[in-house]
Every structure is written in C-alpha cells, then in structure tokens.
Structure 1
Amino acid sequence: MKRTNYLINGVAAVAVMFLFAQCAGKTEDKTGGAASGGAVATTNMKIAYVEIDTLLTQYNFWNDLNEAMMKKEENIRATLNQKARELDGEAQEFQRKLQNNAFVSRERAEQEHARLTKKQQDLQELQNRLTNELAAENQKNSLQLRDSINAFLKEYNKTKGYSMIISNTGFDNLLYADSAFNITKEIVEGLNARYTPASAAKK
C-alpha cells in the first residue's frame, strides 16, 4: 500500500502548482488602451500572489476531501490486509499438509497449490484495481479543487482588478515578494465563506 500513500500525498502538490499561474484580467496602458505589440506596461500592472501550501491547509473543502480519501484508503488497507492474512494462513496450512504427507494424492496437492496461486493473483489484481480507483478519485478531487478556486477568482477579481495572481509554493515560483502583495488570507476566507460542507447541506 506504499504506492497508494505516495499517490495520495503526491497528487495534491502537482495538481495545484499551476492553479493561479494565469492572467486574471487584461492589462491596459495609461490611456486605457491595450499595450501594443504584446508588450505589457509594467507600471500599470496590479499583481498579487497566493501561498498554495497555506491555502491547502486552510481551505475547508480541500481538507474535507482529504479526510474522506484517508478514510477510504484506511478501508482499502484493512480489506487487503485481511485477505492477505487469510491467504498467508492457507499457505502455511498447505505447507504443513505437504510436509506431513496429508494430501490423499499428488494431484490433490497440485490442485490446492493452483488454488492458492490463483487466490494470490486475484489479491494482487484487487490491490491494483483499488489503488488505481483511489488514484483516479484523487485526481478528480484535484480537478474539483482547481475549478473551485478558479471560479472564485473570477468573481473575486471583478472588484479587485488584478492583472495577475501568481501562485507561490515554497520557493518554486517566487524567490522574493513583498508581503503586501500576499492575498492568501483573503482568498482562503472567501473560499471558506462560500463552501458548504456536504454533511451540513444534507441537514
């Protein structure tokens, strides 16, 4: 199940690296016209950045998704461990009978060996299927996260008028930025204000 853990822990960081790396609005020059020749008049740009690591730890929607995924992973691990223990017990019993010549015939021993081999293959296939399903669901969650944030930013920027909102994950994108341009807290508060947990929505 280590592979499952790596998938769950790794997908989130990859999925959100590019969430904010996009233009939030059109840049215009001082006369109100668009900058000519594709050049951007930097003096007119209004830029902000969001700390993705902080956003992920404080956005309730993402935390709820992760909690649900952790529970699902635990259930999968418990199921696979139980089946593995059962198979191990049967394999040990097979070895004991084989050593004590307890099988009525060689053919019967070969049949039991084939059955255990098939059961082991089925368990491996089950593990692969459940792991793939878990990875697919985690990818779906990452897309939901991206769509949720992008939808919020479109509404948010109608009144803020930023030319660009940049993502910052550790030192991957920004080596330095004045904290005055950090709008992480404002974005997290806005996202959480419009998020209704599924459990609360059902009441």
Structure 2
Amino acid sequence: MNKKKFFGTLAIAAMATVAFSSCNKQNEQVEKKSETAPKSEVGSLKIAYVEVDSIMMQYKFCKDYSLILQKKGQNIQSTLASKQQALQAAAANFQQKVQQNAYTREQAEAIQAGLQKQNADLQMLNQRLSSEFQVETEKYNSALRDSIRHFLNEYNKDKKYSLILSKAGDNLLYADKAFDITNDVVAGLNKAYKPAKALETPKK
C-alpha cells in the first residue's frame, strides 16, 4: 500500500516557485517507478494468498476426511437416538403399568431406579461419543494444517514469497487476483496426497 506524506515547508517567496517545481518532478518520478514495479511485490515483500474455501472443496484429503466425519457423526446420532427412543418407550410403559397398579411398591421403585440408571448411562455415552468425535475432528484439522504448511515450505523454496496469506470469506477486504496462488497450491496438494488405507474408497 502506497502512503503519501505531505510536508509543509516555510520558504521565502523568491524560492517558492523553484521548490514547487522540484516537488512535482520528484512526484512524477515516484509515480513512474510505482507503475513499472512488479505486481507481486510491495517494496521488498513478495506476497501471495490462498483461497481456503477452494482448498476445502478441491483438496482430496479434505473431501475424503469430510465423508468419514460425516458418516461418524451420523452413526453417533443414530446410536443415541435409538437408545433414547428405547428409554422413552420403557418409561412410558412403566408409567402405564403404574397407573394400572401392575407393580408392587418395591417393584415400581426397582424399575424406576433401573430407568434412571439407563438415562445416566445414556448421558455418559453421549459425552463419550461427542468427545471422541471432537478428538477425531481436531486430528483432521491438525493433519490438514500440517499438510498445507509442509507443501508451502517446499513450494516456497523456488517461489520465494515473503508472505502467504489465507483468504477465507471476507477476512481480506481486498485481494488482487494477481496474488492468488490457490490453483498451484491445490494442484500440488492433490499431487502429493496419498490416502491412507482407511480413507481409500472400497473397490466394487
């Protein structure tokens, strides 16, 4: 970003015209230099940026692992919903039998205690599965960051960028497409990506 500085000087009237003419010539020289400067450089900095959304949509590792997490999340929801429905059905049946005086007091207390234990067990299962899912998600995010950083370290040995920014949503208010290296990064990541056996799509 170019910064313009305005300096006020005090000069005698006889020198005013000369000083003004000199400043104009200097400004013209600065403008000509800025017009001929490479687009990818700001001063001594060489800057680029990468579209994060494009990486998430096009990087094979992201697509593979997203499917795994999606399936795991669905399995967790299905397991918890099934157990919750079974518990609700048992509780409703218990209430119906109590109203019909089908249990003795001791039997009713024992069944009620059993239902309370099932509910507590269900809450513990919910917490455990949610924690495991969170750990798996963090593991994926960490692996994603590591793979991108590793690639950029190798990529930048030749490109020599001073700064590579991540652009996600509107976190960058403006970014000239001349600085965009997303396609290079996505292509390089996919070329280097070797899915683990757990991530490989089963052959039909």
Q: What's the TM-score bracket when you normalise by the shorter of the two chains? A: 0.7 to 0.9
Q: Unaligned regions of 5+ residues in structure 1, if any?
A: 1-40
1:50-108 CA-partner distances (Å, limit 9, x unpaired): 111111111110111111011111111111111111111111110111000001x2011
Determine the C-alpha separation between the residues in 2 that align with 1:55 and 1:85. Answer: 40
SS where residue 183 of structure 2 aligns? helix
1:67 aligns with 2:57: no
What is the match of residue 137 of structure 1? 136
What is the match of residue 160 of structure 2? 161
**Structure 1 residue identity aligned to 2:153:** K
Determine the C-alpha separation between the residues in 2 that align with 1:54 and 1:202. Answer: 26
Residues matched between the structures, number: 161
**Structure 1 residue identity aligned to 2:132:** E
**Structure 1 residue identity aligned to 2:187:** E
Match for residue 182 of structure 2 among 166, 184, 187: 184
Q: Unaligned regions of 5+ residues in structure 2, if any?
A: 1-40
**Which has the greater radius of gyration?**
2
Cα deviation, residue 197, structure 1: 2.1
1:81 aligns with 2:81: yes
SS where residue 48 of structure 1 aligns? strand
**Structure 2 residue identity aligned to 1:85:** Q
What is the match of residue 36 of structure 1? none
Determine the C-alpha separation between the residues in 1 that align with 2:111 and 2:159. Answer: 71
Question: Over the residues paired in the alignment, what is the CA RMSD in angstroms?
Answer: 1.8
**Structure 2 residue identity aligned to 1:62:** C
After TM superposition, the score normalised by the length of structure 2 is: 0.75
SS where residue 50 of structure 2 aligns? strand
Question: Between the two proteins, what is the percent identity of the paired residues?
Answer: 47
Determine the C-alpha separation between the residues in 2 that align with 1:131 and 1:43. Answer: 49
Determine the C-alpha separation between the residues in 1 that align with 2:189 and 2:78. Answer: 34
SS where residue 116 of structure 2 aligns? helix
Determine the C-alpha separation between the residues in 2 that align with 1:59 and 1:82. Answer: 35
Determine the C-alpha separation between the residues in 2 that align with 1:169 and 1:202. Answer: 33
What is the match of residue 57 of structure 1? 57
SS where residue 157 of structure 2 aligns? helix
Cα deviation, residue 117, structure 1: 0.6
Determine the C-alpha separation between the residues in 2 that align with 1:185 and 1:202. Answer: 29
1:119-141 CA-partner distances (Å, limit 9, x unpaired): 01110110111011101110111
